[in-house]
Amino acid sequence: MTISASERLRRFYSRFSGDDQVLILINADPDAIASAMAAKRLLWRKAAGVTLCSINVIERPDNIAMCRLLGVQLVPVENIEEKRYSRFITVDSQPSHHEAFSRFKFDVIIDHHPDTGAKAPFLDIRPKYGATATIMTEYLRAAGIKPSVKLATALFHAIKTDTRDFERKAVIEDIRAFQFLFRHANIYLARKIEESDLRLDFLEYFERALQTRRIRKGRVFVHLGPVKNPDICVLIADFFMRVANIRWSIISGLYDKKLVIVLRNDGLRKNAGKVAEESFAPIGSAGGHKSAARAEILLSDLERILDPRDHKKLLRWIISRIEKRAEKNAGQPTHDS
C-alpha cells in the first residue's frame, strides 16, 4: 500500500513533543547536510531544540563551502553529550553504514540507500530515489513549508550532486523536487558551491596523475600512492572523464590503512558498480552506480597478495583485475568496453 506524503509527515511528527531536544546525526556530504537542514526546519516549533552533528571531518572544499555559504553549523560527534538529547535522527545514512552510529538509538531514519535492515520507530527508506533530499523536499511540501533560499539551495545542490545532474539513477519524484526547488533556490550560490572543489594543496596530485597516468584502449589508470584525503581520487577520476576518448577512469590511492579505488565511466554499455564488485568485493568492500563506483581494501588484506608499497606493481594488479571484469561486463571486445 502506498503511503501518502501527508501520512508520512504525520507519523514523523508523532515521534516528537515540544520538550524534545533532538540530535540529527549525519555522515556529512551534500545530500546529508541538506537533508539534515530540512529535518531541522520541519521540527521548528515542534521541538525544544535541534542540533546537527557530523560523524566525519569535512575536508572536501565544496562541502566546506556549502556549510560556510549556507550557514550550517555541525557539531563533531566527539563533542556530543548523549544525555542532553531525548530524540535521535539520521538522514542519508543507516546505522550499519558507520561504527560511529552504533552508540545511538535512532527514533527516525530517512534514507535513499539500499535497505540494510535498519530498525527504528519511524523508518522511511526509498532506494529507488536518487537523493534523500528529494524525500525531505516531499516532507516540506506536505507540511506546507516554503523553504528559505538557503534551504532550497542546499536541497537543489544535493539532488544535483547525488544524481550527478541526473546522469545517475533518478525517478520522476527527483525531477519534481528539483523543479520545485529551482523556483526558490539561488542558482548562483549553488554554482559557487559546486565550483569550490579544489584546494591549492590538491594540485600536486593532479601533477602526479598527469605524469604517471596509464591509458589503455580508452581507460585511464592512475595510482596516487598515499593521499591526504580519498576525495582527491574522486576529483581526479571526474577530471579524466572530461578528456576526449576516455571511457573509463580508475584512480586509486592509499588512505587510513586502506587502498581506495574510484571508478568512473561514460555509462554506455557499462556498469561501474558491477565491475567494482566483481573485481574487488572478494577481498574488500565495493559497489556503486552504473557510471560511478568505489572499492576499499584493507592494506592488511592486500598484503597477502602483494606489497602495497610497490606502487607500480599495485597499479598493474588493479589494471589486470579491472580489464578482465570490464570486458566481461561490457560483453564487448576490449576496445569497445
Measured CA to CA, the distance from residue 106 to residue 97 in angstroms comes to: 14
| Tens-digit pLDDT profile for residues 168-187 | 779 999 999 999 999 999 99
Measured CA to CA, the distance from residue 108 to residue 124 in angstroms comes to: 8
Instruction: For residue 289, give the CATH number of its domain.
Output: 3.10.310.30
Are 182 and 223 part of one and the same domain?
Answer: no
What's the rounded mean pLDDT across residues 36-54?
A: 97
Measured CA to CA, the distance from residue 307 to residue 22 in angstroms comes to: 47
Return the SS3 of 33: helix
Which of 149, 180, 195 corresponds to the end of one domain?
A: 195
Instruction: For residue 133, give the CATH number of its domain.
Output: 3.90.1640.10
Return the SS3 of 294: strand
Q: Which of 101, 99, 91 is nearest to 123 (CA)?
A: 91
Are 175 and 211 part of one and the same domain?
Answer: no
Q: What range does the domain containing 89 cover?
A: 5-195
Are 234 and 145 part of one and the same domain?
Answer: no
Amino acid at 132: T
Which of 177, 195, 213 corresponds to the end of one domain?
A: 195
Q: Confirm if 240 and 220 have CB atoms less than 8 A apart.
A: yes
The cell for 280 is 574487488
Give, in order, the Cα–Cα distances in Å from 26 to each of 54, 65, 109, 202. Answer: 5, 17, 11, 26
Are 244 and 275 part of one and the same domain?
Answer: yes
Does residue 60 register a pLDDT over 90? no
Domain tally for the chain?
Answer: 2
Q: Which of 40, 42, 44 is nearest to 23 (CA)?
A: 40
Are 48 and 173 part of one and the same domain?
Answer: yes
Return the SS3 of 298: strand
Return the SS3 of 287: strand
Are 155 and 210 part of one and the same domain?
Answer: no
Percent of the chain with pLDDT over 90: 78
Range in 40-49, 161-170, 315-324 with the lowest mean pLDDT: 161-170
Q: Confirm if 224 and 205 have CB atoms less than 8 A apart.
A: yes
Are 263 and 157 part of one and the same domain?
Answer: no
pLDDT at 336: 35
Are 253 and 117 part of one and the same domain?
Answer: no
Does residue 331 register a pLDDT over 70? no
Measured CA to CA, the distance from residue 66 to residue 68 in angstroms comes to: 6
Measured CA to CA, the distance from residue 37 to residue 39 in angstroms comes to: 6
Angle CA 169–25–97, to nearest 5: 55
With cut-offs at 50, 70 and 90, classify the pLDDT of residue 288.
confident
Residue 196, number of CB atoms within 10 A of its CB: 17
pLDDT at 179: 97
Measured CA to CA, the distance from residue 327 to residue 277 in angstroms comes to: 14
